């Protein structure tokens, strides 16, 4: 009987030793085996804690409509939902340790993590061609005044639409799904591309004198085309020509002050009172 008990005890001891040895060998094997990692090209910058970047080669190659859907004409562009992220980043989405959530959310420990306050997207360059909006069906009903306000000295130049507020003007024609000549004009890429944006300078030679648009409008039988020509395909800041007020006898190829202010109206005599019509105080310069 004692022999049987001793045999059972010995077998139990051997089993325990075998289990411990197996567990240790498994732990060593697990430590030696690398944890599968997602390819760097897939994880890319959005899981590095720096937030989402449109400029990566992968994101830049995706259509804007893949993430941003327009359902109306609100000037505020809606942020993408989780579906837009999981279309490409499902593995990171279901693996919290990869940090995908931190790209868009803060306070991840809460039950409903708030969305980060994203800065204004000034990185998107605006592609606007005045010539394409100056004739035919593409010309706004109010013409230049649809975007540029008149009345002040530099009001037309200073009222160039910018920021999200500009969408209120543009979306009157660029509605969701809008087409022009078979081309989509309702998506983001119709007007925007990646790259820095700088506003068109609001200064001009005409403003060196006491010129004001308020005195050169409908009451005087004038409109924008009276003094400005539009250059099709020209780069930003050079699409609309300016007059040559600093040269009283400017080039015949373009408009200048003498086009209207001729003979005795301004430049016809040597009466100083005529000069003061445009040149006053600090603006008295040629």
Lowest mean pLDDT, pick from 120-124, 230-234, 267-271? 267-271
User: Given this model, what pLDDT does residue 121 score?
Assistant: 57
Residue 140: both structure tokens together = 């706004």
> Across all residues in the chain, what is the average pLDDT?
69
> With bands split at pLDDT 50, 70 and 90, how would you rate the model's confidence at 202?
low
The residue ranking higher by pLDDT, 269 or 179, is: 179
pLDDT classification of 48: cutoffs 50, 70, 90: very low
Residue appearing with tokens 């998506």: 187
Distance, CA of 243 to chain centre: 31
**Which range is least confidently modeled, 75-89, 197-211, 243-257?**
243-257
Q: What is the pLDDT of residue 193?
A: 76
Low-confidence winner among 41-45, 65-69, 97-101, 219-223 (lowest mean pLDDT): 41-45
pLDDT tens digits for range 160-188: 777 777 888 888 888 888 888 888 888 88
In the predicted model, is pLDDT for residue 58 greater than 80?
yes
pLDDT band at 36 (very low <50, low <70, confident <90, very high): very low
Phi, psi of 57 (to 5 degrees): -60, -35
Question: With b meaning 16 or more CB within 10 Å and e meaning fewer, what string describes 261-285?
Answer: beeeebbeeeeeebbeebbeeeeee
Q: What is the pLDDT of residues 126-147, one digit of tens each?
A: 778 888 888 788 888 888 878 8
| 161, two tokens | 């639409």
Its pTM stands at: 0.53
Three-state SS string across 2-58, please?
A: HHHHHHHHHHHHHHHHHHHHHHHHHHHHHHHCCCCCCCHHHHCHHHCCCCCCCCCHH
pLDDT at residue 39, rounded to an integer: 35
Tell me what pLDDT residue 210 has: 65
- Pick from 52-56, 73-77, 223-227, 264-268: least confident: 264-268
* CA dihedral sign of residues 36, 41, 42, 47: positive
What is the model's pLDDT at position 11? 46
> What per-residue string of b and e applies to 68-106 under the rule 16 or more CB within 10 Å gives b?
eebeeeeeeeeeeeeeebeebbeebeeeeebebbbbbee
Q: For the chain, give the percent of residues with pLDDT over 90.
A: 0
Mean pLDDT of 197-211: 63
């Amino acid at each position: 009987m004692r022999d049987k008990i001793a045999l059972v005890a010995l077998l139990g001891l051997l089993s325990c030793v075998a289990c411990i040895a197996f567990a240790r060998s498994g732990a060593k094997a697990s430590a030696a085996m690398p944890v599968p990692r997602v390819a760097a090209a897939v994880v890319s910058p959005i899981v590095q804690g720096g937030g989402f970047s449109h400029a990566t080669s992968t994101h830049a190659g995706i259509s804007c409509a893949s993430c941003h859907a327009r359902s109306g004409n609100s000037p505020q562009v809606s942020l993408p939902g989780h579906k837009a992220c999981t279309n490409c980043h499902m593995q990171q989405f279901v693996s919290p340790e990869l940090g995908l959530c931190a790209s868009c959310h803060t306070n991840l420990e809460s039950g409903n993590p708030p969305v980060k306050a994203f800065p204004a997207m000034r990185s998107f360059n605006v592609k606007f061609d005045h010539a394409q909006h100056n004739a035919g069906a593409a010309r706004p009903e109010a013409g230049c005044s649809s975007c540029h306000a008149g009345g002040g000295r530099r009001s037309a130049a200073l009222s160039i639409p910018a920021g999200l507020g500009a969408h209120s003007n543009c979306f009157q024609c660029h509605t969701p799904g809008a087409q022009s000549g078979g081309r989509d004009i309702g998506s983001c890429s119709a007007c925007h591309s990646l790259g820095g944006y700088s506003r068109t300078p609001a200064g001009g030679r005409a403003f060196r004198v006491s010129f004001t648009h308020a005195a050169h409008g409908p009451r005087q039988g004038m409109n924008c085309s009276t003094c400005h020509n539009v250059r099709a395909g020209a780069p930003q800041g050079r699409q609309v020509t300016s007059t040559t007020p600093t040269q009283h006898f400017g080039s015949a190829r373009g408009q200048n002050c003498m086009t209207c202010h001729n003979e005795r109206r301004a430049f016809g005599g040597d009466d100083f009172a005529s000069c003061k019509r445009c040149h006053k105080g600090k603006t008295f310069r040629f």
